[in-house]
Amino acid sequence: MQIIRATDYDHMSRMAANIISAQVIMKPDCVLGLATGSTPIGTYEQLIRWYEKGDLDFSRVRSINLDEYKGLSPENDQSYRYFMNEHLFRHINIKLENTNVPDGLEEDSEKACAAYNEIIRQSGGIDLQLLGLGHNGHIGFNEPSEEFIKETHCVDLAQSTIDANSRFFASMDLVPKQAYTMGIQTIMQAKKIVVVVSGKSKAEIVKAAFFGPCTPKVPASILQLHRDVVLVGDGEALSLVP
């Protein structure tokens, strides 16, 4: 694992965006695994700036997002499809038909997951996967569990995740309790993984995930077994890293 210590959030975002842009330049038809959450927003802003300058071309890039809330439509401003359109896709020249997010409106979980697994299979595999880190160690929406679940599945969100997400919804009843997420095996099969972490509140979980035992109770800890992981964090998030 490589660790990049950034001075602050902006620096972290530029470093992560540098790695992603190198991927796009080296392989213009690459498959990017993309993430939501507040942490990657600065990374996306930086990619947009470089696109606007003419330094990046996304016209042949395909993307596969990690997860989506079950029950939310793409028009719902809290859906991850909406997030991706707003924070990245509509600002760059990626073709919308080349972007993929699980279908939150598909009520049949088996069908939704099988369809997403097929999209992943047909893509030929993810070249670079961008990840954030949940406070309980989740990646995508792979919550702490007794086992690592391999492929796309429907998860019951942990209470701590529901609580963390509640700040974005008008009332607790509106916070989704389930989500579709890419599985751990799919994430681990990405050729390269970039994890972005920022802020003091992530320091404990960064230490547990990257320096503690490898266990499904801390899903991100499996990343220790991947051969090409870059952890990009600011000083606060990396403050407990040995």
**CB closer to ligand GLP out of 67 and 106:** 67
Residues 61-80 binding ligand GLP (CB under 6 A) are: 66-67
Q: Among this protein's residues, is 138 annotated catalytic?
A: yes
Pull the structure tokens for residue 227. Answer: 């051969």
> Contact region for ligand GLP (CB under 6 A) — 92-100, 128-136, 209-217, 227-235?
128-136
Residue 201 and residue 55: Cα distance in Å, rounded? 34
Residues 161-190 binding ligand GLP (CB under 6 A) are: 161
Q: Kindly tell me which residue out of 133, 190, 208, 229 binds ligand GLP, with binding defined by CB under 6 A.
A: 133
Residues 23-52 binding ligand GLP (CB under 6 A) are: 35-39
**CB closer to ligand GLP out of 116 and 141:** 141
**Interior angle at CA 45, CA 152 and CA 135, nearest 5:** 50
Partners of residue 6 on adjacent β-strands: 234
Neighbours of 115 (CB within 10 A): 16
Contact 61, 26 (CB under 8 A): no
Q: Among this protein's residues, is 107 annotated catalytic?
A: no
Residue 180 and residue 139: Cα distance in Å, rounded? 12
Q: What is the CA radius of gyration of the chain?
A: 17
CB of 191 to ligand GLP, least distance (A): 19
CB of 36 to ligand GLP, least distance (A): 5
Half-sphere exposure of 125 toward its Cβ, with a 13 Å CA cutoff?
A: 8
Please list the active-site residues: 67, 136, 138, 143
Please give the residue ranges that form the binding site for ligand GLP (CB under 6 A). Answer: 35-39, 66-67, 132-134, 140-141, 161
